Amino acid sequence: MRDQHEHAHVARPLQRGRNWPGPWRKTPGRLLGTSLVRFYQLTLSGFVGNSCRHLPTCSEYAHEAIARHGLWAGGWMGLFRVLRCGPFGTHGIDRVPEVLADRYVWFTPWRYWRIGKKRSGRES
């Protein structure tokens, strides 16, 4: 017997996830880093609460930074973003840079602290 029905199927709009949907190289380090961030989002994030002072949230920022720039650079950017999220830290819209400047090299991770901080009216 065939099951026939006469109602129309309505196509639902695609729902975008909470993380950056852009294309990124699926290297082992990036997969590990984004998986750890996603694990945090699905488990511990509910206990911490939704109190991030930035947009996108710190975990979304870390996911995008790791996906775009790799585990080392993106991990440092995500860590420094979480550290800036304290009571006396920054707030507002803080996007991950599409391309890192030449001064951000792997052997100077402390320089990633400046990404997203506002200095003299412009973002660095």
Domain residue extents for the chain: 51-113
Binning the chain into helix, strand and coil, the percentages to the nearest 5 are: 40, 5, 50
Q: From CA 100, how far away is CA 91, in angstroms rounded?
A: 21
SS3 of 93, please? strand
Please write the tens of the pLDDT for every residue from 7-66.
Answer: 565 655 555 667 878 888 899 999 999 999 999 999 988 887 777 788 888 899 999 999
> What is the pTM (predicted TM-score) of this model?
0.78
SS3 of 2, please? coil
> Angle at CA 110, nearest 5°, toward 98 and 120?
65
The DSSP secondary-structure symbol of 116 reads: T
- pLDDT, residue 40, reads 92
Please write the tens of the pLDDT for every residue from 105-121.
Answer: 888 888 888 887 654 34
